Structure 1
């Protein structure tokens, strides 16, 4: 067996993983017991998106992403880390920005366990998403310029019924409700044959106001370099993303929902002398958004609430069509309602000075850091009203009824939000190895983070924290960290309320043991684990004070005696405290065959307690709302698995495959519920966020079946209505029959598979991601027929409604007009399979050979083409809807085809 020195030499010859980025420091991967995972710039740049969070989808174990909208400027995915929303930290400072110049991002690191996030103290329970920006290096100047353009296509819109099918089903629904028919046979024939396009229109409104494609253009320029004295990285970026609404050449302004960004960054690091260094990191960002004056949301809502036979787009004289009932012509909303603008401006500035104190003792240093952040969002309203006209053909000549008014254009503006923050930190660190056996790394810091939002009083978090790690021969690692901090929005203990949040961890690098030193099979083998307590700061706005606000005026006697009323806000909670979590994490990280095969698995068990909740067993007799109290307890458990293979063949082919899979199970341990007499009603013991409702049992087929079944309170069922299970067998369907619906105990499983290859200048990569054991609720006007007080849309899935003739195959209950207290009740009938597998991304690239570039003095030219959201396998239960953007009220997901060129010199 070899000696330790021989073992270390063998391991150092292997490809090394980059340092683990922690919030305030970094460490070699084998010298920490933390649970972290990083994604680097090469993979981040593969996604044609504006949000950093969207680039993470499917690429990192434990991180679940969900994109609920494809709207330009608001299409960033929401992410959860082991079930909770992680804190976003940029270069060591909390700055919750997600729209970023992706070229500026060096890495994104997930900090998952208590040990990696303990130093955050009251901000540590949810974990962190740490963004590290690019820095300059002591090398010859390098300039990179990237131009790319994308064509976008909306996905997942539900298919609406044409005018004839809509009218036919509407008559059927009226018959079911015992009401007279609305449409005569002549009306139906006119809708079907298109013989009267103005009196009996058939307009596919989505096709009329939504374009088949839109554009996404990005231009990025950056330069970096430096020497032993100074290093720099500077960048400029412009993004222009157009919306999918049609526009009119008659307007002198833009009415589409476009989005533009302008971002400038400058990162400069300086070595003043051999022991003193410093840095200045600056970011300026302008975001500009436009939309129609009626707003994007109103138009999407109108598409749901306006049937295709309501009115024509235009009348014969060119005016907007409409009726007394439908006065908001959707085309007029899109191109004739003026426009709105939104401007967002952000500025970040980070400064630091670091002094090495090797003269005192080798490895000792001290650092001061300060940061400033200012943001502003401003709306400009240039909307206007419009008139619609209804053609009356019974008069000679034809006349028009006028509804609405062509109003003057508004000219208003207002601040949506305005905020600023400042951060200060003093840290002392020590990093040293004694006698090639004992490694010590320690850090202690004090910080103060102060933010102001609008006219609110400042919100300040301050305290101290620290980290200590010891390793023996780089084989055995002992690590501890703590945070002792708090905020100013709790009942004060002195000036602040603070708490102590400790964590400890152990790691064993088995591959460095002598009995594995000669192994050519094992490249890396580490066992590690951690245990700790973390906190979460969610106090509200000084809720420990009893507050009273002004309300509307009241009158005492005559109007001259009016006085401003005072209303009492929810009861104060003088005992409010931090939320807390006890976290356990254990894992194995291994590599084999000279790092070609990699494998890791982690298990976590996190108990969140003292969660702020409103008591369920409260009473309205009090006449006021109860406060949030620290009474809830939830548990999150799960496992994460990664398996990878990478290889370079003798022929020059490089390829890789990396699979990550995550399991997440949640459970409500305690919630102060209202009294529920039956076990199936209780929220305690169910999954966090579990959906509750009635258990559907098909459709009533006959009146005889109805007569022998439980009845719904206040409702008389008919054949074709949804039948529910009477859980307590009292003959009545009511709140006592509500229970958990969907997949109750199956853990959420989400995964990502990354593939790639390079050969003679050509490169290819793909990303497949998906989720299973996921349920989605599909109720509402996006799927139910004739909502909006009976005048809303109807969809192709409504054609599969129950009738006596289709009783055996129907998948939708009998039709009715408006809301139905039985069929539209929250139940398992409307809970659908939300599992999906998506081909998230494909990229093809070609790098021009260097020998061709020497003549024009360029380092590299790379051409690339990408596809994004290309193909999705999903349940047929969702019809045409996207598995992430379910609601028709939401801006649909976009499929992108992206082309670009990158030039480096």
Structure 2
């Protein structure tokens, strides 16, 4: 089914590459010009020297992006940029991209000046990734500027001889952070103990325990390590990339083709003619062409085609991971002596059968992006004036194919002679279905006019643009953001900079003011390049010193789907009278909000950027204070008595403050040895200024005034040690405690533990601190780099079936941390409450007992490379051959409170984080 689009992409790549190269070479024969054409102006105007702007920005370039053997460009940013916090919650192939947070917000992703929800593509296509942090840098985004922006600029051709690069690399992956489960004997022993604690009869006899311990009856008393049965120790990740670039004064081109093949860790079987493992494949093609139509008119065509395909077992990856959590080692044997899959009435989904005998599922994603621009210099009117037109198109489609099938399991009845089997389920019922998971398209149009000129000591830079971004998702009505925006900057002798920007735009999903609802979002900033002052002209210590600051108002567009209209939905059919006929009921939900508006933020930013000792020592520090207001929230005092849901209203206020630091050193000796070290750290504080809370009688229960997303629960005071201690303590509503249960603090001193005793828990007064340290060195063809990143003052909640024993209605798994349970003999050292079967309303309540230290330091990446000397390559006409080896997620220092779980992927229901050992070869000619 996918052969046609893959072949079309490959043919398209070849055609564009050959045609572009031929055109460039033909023009080279007629004209030799080394003057490059200016790149297209992007939505956020960045083509200005950094010392001539007051904005807060930070860039990461392709050399560092390529050091991480990952598929998502977001994952390459971990630990490398101040203010950007990343969190990877899954290691699943094709879905392992890290989520990113810029100063506490989810930034907008912009690719070559156009908003795009893409992060998985050829990393070699990335020229740079720029963070736009403050109001001044994002003001031109208007209603999409409050969260900051992550600006991805792709590689463009240069007027130079054609260069071709081929990279082949392979990685070996292994999983991190699995919780350690108990063997059958320990499981059964603890289960009996839990039964006694709950006043239930023992489930296992001494004969059962002996059989589990000695392994004498694998059919009736199995002990199966299910992770060893269904998971591989390692898997593969292969990537192949080919790109070419070059051009002349007339045309410049960059074209690339990439293929990625990443496999998962599920075992497979030769009985299948199809793959049942997790697998992710991608085919990505890019063509960026810039041309000079005339001396004053230039243009470009940027194309991206992407095919992603994913595969997994028919039962689904999530269901298999869930079964590993909810199935104890003694549930059933893998196979019966007859060769059938083992199972019971309670456990009818044999995990190995789920993995290799449930068929398969496929997903195909297809994306096409096209970006066109024309730029006309208007020096005939006045030098430095230009105008540009840009348009972009994006189409995306995701299709699911379901080829899953059923299987049967058999339970041996060992009390009969011969042994008989009970069958549960049926074999071979095949599902054959496909459907569109989602589809969408967008088109973007922009017209801009810019001016860039110097008058002696005076420099002027200005830009005004009008744009419209129209998006359609599935069957929804179009979502359109449109308006105008602009920027103007003045500098005197490159010492003093004054800058202002604005966005005046809005979308079509608010109560209209005319055709659209729009708003004005201004920002302004000042910068002072102190190093250019006359009193520092003779000194050699300071290489660069800039002081800058900005303030502005930004917006965020989160309207919902025409929520200012009162909407009605079909409900279930109902009977009227005595008729057998039915009628469809109509429900009204939720209430409309005709006054819904944009969310907004007032942002202040100030910083110092400096370099010393001929740019060997670099230092920067920034402080920001962002107040987010008119946040859309549902009122806490809403009442269900009206029979409907309350709408979101612009009532919330939050504040985000913090600081960012960067310190770097780079050195190159006379003998050619060079090295660098760059440290960054970020401090983030958040606070809820206002939210419409439900009535809470005590101050400690209130959410206002605490951190955004603050965890609330009971304050644990250890474990009850005796019945006498229980008798002297507050009672618990609806529960009778026993020794070994968690004891909670009675905050209001009323003698009862209830919701009035819940308060903020964890390290509530300490800011989140995250950091990264990049190191590197080069000498005589050898190069080395490493990245260490981490976070502190981070709490994680560890409750649930992947840490509590005997969940899943009492039939779930148990773990090594459960061995540290409370008993009279272990009372002094116990770190886990007394055991019980199933859910426990007291011990499993949300409390500080289950809130753990989530701090960690990780050796995120390390790389060693060797470039073959040029003198050896000249004979075979190659520019460069580089061999490299990389490690990713190599080593982690985390709290022992996490019981060896990975600090980012805590839950066993999630696909684990992967450690990668990567080897590669790059050839350039």
The TM-score with structure 1 as length reference comes to 0.97
Aligned residue for 1:847?
A: 867
- Quick check: 1:662 aligned with 2:682? yes
Pick aligned residue for 1:48 from 43, 63, 69: 69
Residue 263 of structure 1: how far off its partner (Å): 0.2
User: Is the CA contact 1:19–1:26 (under 8 Å) kept in the aligned structure 2?
Assistant: no
Is 1:132 aligned to 2:132, yes or no? no
CA contact (8 A) 1:22 1:116 kept: no
Q: Distance in 2 between matches of 1:329 and 1:281?
A: 50
Question: In structure 2, what is the Cα distance between the partners aligned to 1:559 and 1:615?
Answer: 42
1:574 aligns with 2:588: no
Shift, 1:519, TM fit? 1.1
Structure 1 counterpart of 2:475, from 441, 452, 455: 455
Is 1:492 aligned to 2:519, yes or no?
no
1:887 aligns with 2:912: no
Corresponding position of 2:694: 674
- 1:399 positional shift: 1.2
1:10 aligned partner = none
RMSD over aligned CA atoms reads 1.0
Mapped pair 1:255 → 2:276: yes
The whole-number CA distance in structure 2 between the counterparts of 1:46 and 1:711 is 57
Partner of 1:144: 165
Matched, 1:377 2:398: yes
| Distance in 2 separating the partners of 1:257 and 1:560 | 50
Please state how far the C-alpha of 1:561 moved relative to its aligned partner. 2.5
The Cα of 1:100 is off from its aligned counterpart by 1.4
**Equivalent residue, structure 1, for 2:664:** 644
Aligned match of 1:606: 626
Correspondent of 2:524 among 498, 504, 526:
504
Q: Provide, for residues 837-871 of structure 1, a one-character-per-residue CA deviation record: whole Å limited to 9, x for no partner.
A: 00000000000000000010000000000000000
Match of 1:264 in 2: 285
Q: Counterparts in 2 of 1:266-415, with a 5 A limit?
A: 266-415=287-436
Tell whether the 8 Å contact from 2:43 to 2:114 is kept in structure 1 after alignment.
no
Give the structure 1 partner of residue 246 of structure 2: 225
Q: CA deviation at 1:25?
A: 3.9
Rounded Cα–Cα distance in structure 2 between residues aligned with 1:315 and 1:865: 45
Distance in 2 (alpha carbons) for counterparts of 1:202 and 1:861: 52
Post-superposition offset of 1:780: 0.4
Instruction: Give SS of 2:75's match.
Output: helix
Rounded Cα–Cα distance in structure 2 between residues aligned with 1:791 and 1:308: 11
- Residue 685 (str. 1) matches residue 708 (str. 2): no
Which of 109, 113, 134 matches 1:92?
113
Secondary structure of 2:725's match?
helix
1:185 to 2:238 alignment: no
* 2:800 aligned partner: 780
Shift of 1:711: 1.1
Equivalent residue for 1:175? Answer: 196
Q: Does the 8 Å CA contact 1:248/1:335 hold for their aligned counterparts?
A: yes
Would you say 1:755 and 2:775 are equivalent positions? yes
**Alpha-carbon offset, residue 567 of structure 1:** 1.2
User: Matched residues in 2 for 1:93 and 1:322: separation?
Assistant: 54
888, 899, 908: which one aligns with 1:868: 888
Structure 2 residue 182 is matched with structure 1 residue 161: yes
Distance in 1 between the 2:212 and 2:42 partners?
65
- Which residue of 850, 858, 865 maps to 2:878? 858
For residues 578-635 of structure 1, what are the alpha-carbon distances to aligned partners after superposition, in whole Å with 9 as ceiling and x for unaligned?
0000000000000000000000000000000000000001111111100000000000
What's the CA shift string for 1:547-590, capped at 9, x where partnerless? 00112211113453210111111100000000000000000000
Q: List structure 1 segments (4+ residues) > 6 angstroms apart after TM superposition.
A: 18-22
Indicate the residue corresponding to 1:11 in structure 2. none
**Residue 20 of structure 1: how far off its partner (Å):** 12
Query: 2:7: which partner in 1?
Result: none
Alignment correspondent of 1:699: 719
Given that residues 468 and 481 in structure 1 are in contact (C-alpha distance below 8 angstroms), is that contact kept between their aligned partners in structure 2? yes
Q: Secondary structure at the match of 1:26?
A: coil
**Superposed displacement of residue 777, structure 1:** 0.1
Within 1, Cα distance between the matches of 2:831 and 2:799?
14
Return 19-28 or 321-330, whichever deviates more: 19-28
What is the CA deviation profile of residues 512-537 of structure 1, one whole-angstrom value per residue up to 9, with x for unaligned ones?
00111111100000000000000000
Aligned equivalent of 1:725: 745
Of 588-597 and 548-557, deviating more is: 548-557
Q: 2: distance between equivalents of 1:432 and 1:23?
A: 19
Task: Supply the distance in 1 between the matched residues of 2:273 and 2:430 (Cα, whole angstroms).
Answer: 13
Deviation at 1:19, TM superposition (A): 14
**Contact 1:22-1:111 within 8 A present in 2 as well:** no
Q: Deviations over 1:637-683 (max 9, x none)?
A: 00000000001001110000000000000000000000111000000
Among 730, 738, 741, which residue is 2:761 paired with?
Answer: 741
Contact 1:20 1:28 in 2 (8 A): no
Structure 2 vs 1, CA of residues 852 and 237 (structure 1 numbering), >3 Å: closer, same or farther? Answer: same
Q: 1:386 to 1:231 in 2, by over 3 A?
A: same
SS at match of 2:223: coil
Unaligned runs of 5+ in 1: 1-17
1:896 and 2:916 matched: yes
> In the alignment, is the contact (CA less than 8 A) between 1:158 and 1:880 conserved in 2?
yes
Give the deviation of 1:217 after TM superposition: 0.1
Mapped to 2, the partners of 1:865 and 1:778 lie a distance apart of 35
Cα distance in 2, alignment partners of residues 530 and 837 from structure 1: 33
The structural deviation recorded for 1:207 is 0.9
Instruction: Kindly state the Cα deviation for residue 273 of structure 1 after the two structures are TM-superposed.
Output: 1.0
Which residues of 2 match residues 71-110 of structure 1 at below 5 A? 71-110=92-131
* 8 Å CA contact retained: 2:42, 2:112: no
Cα deviation, residue 55, structure 1: 0.1
Conservation of the 8 A alpha-carbon contact between 1:21 and 1:27:
no
Structure 1 residue 112 corresponds to structure 2 residue 133: yes
Q: Residues 41 and 113 of structure 2 are in contact (CA less than 8 Å); yes or no, is this contact kept in structure 1?
A: no
The number of residues matched between the two structures is: 887
SS of residue matched to 1:300: helix
Is the CA contact (8 Å cut-off) linking 2:43 and 2:140 kept in structure 1? no
Structure 2 Cα separation of the partners of residues 784 and 271 of structure 1:
66
Residue number in structure 2 paired with 1:473 = 493
Q: Secondary structure at the match of 2:676?
A: strand
Whether the 8 Å contact between 1:19 and 1:27 is mirrored in structure 2 is: no
Kept after mapping to 2: 8 A contact 1:319/1:388: yes
- The corresponding residue for 2:831 is 811
The CA deviation at 1:22 is 7.2
**Structure 2, gaps ≥5 residues long:** 1-38
Equivalences for residues 474-623 of structure 1 within 5 A:
474-558=494-578, 560-623=580-643
Measured in 2, the distance between the counterparts of 1:517 and 1:859 equals 42
Q: Note the C-alpha offset of 1:877.
A: 0.1
> CA contact under 8 A between 2:720 and 2:740: conserved in structure 1?
yes
Question: In 2, are the aligned partners of 1:243 and 1:258 still within 8 Å (CA)?
Answer: yes
Whole-Å separation in 2 of the counterparts to 1:528 and 1:476: 10
**Contact kept in structure 2, 1:19 and 1:28, CA below 8 Å:** no
1:164 alignment partner, SS class: helix
Instruction: Answer yes or no: is the 8 Å Cα contact 1:270–1:277 preserved in 2.
Output: yes
Does the CA-based 8 Å contact 2:40-2:375 persist in structure 1? no
Checking the alignment, whether the CA contact within 8 Å between 2:630 and 2:650 is kept in structure 1 is: yes
SS in 2 for 1:482: strand
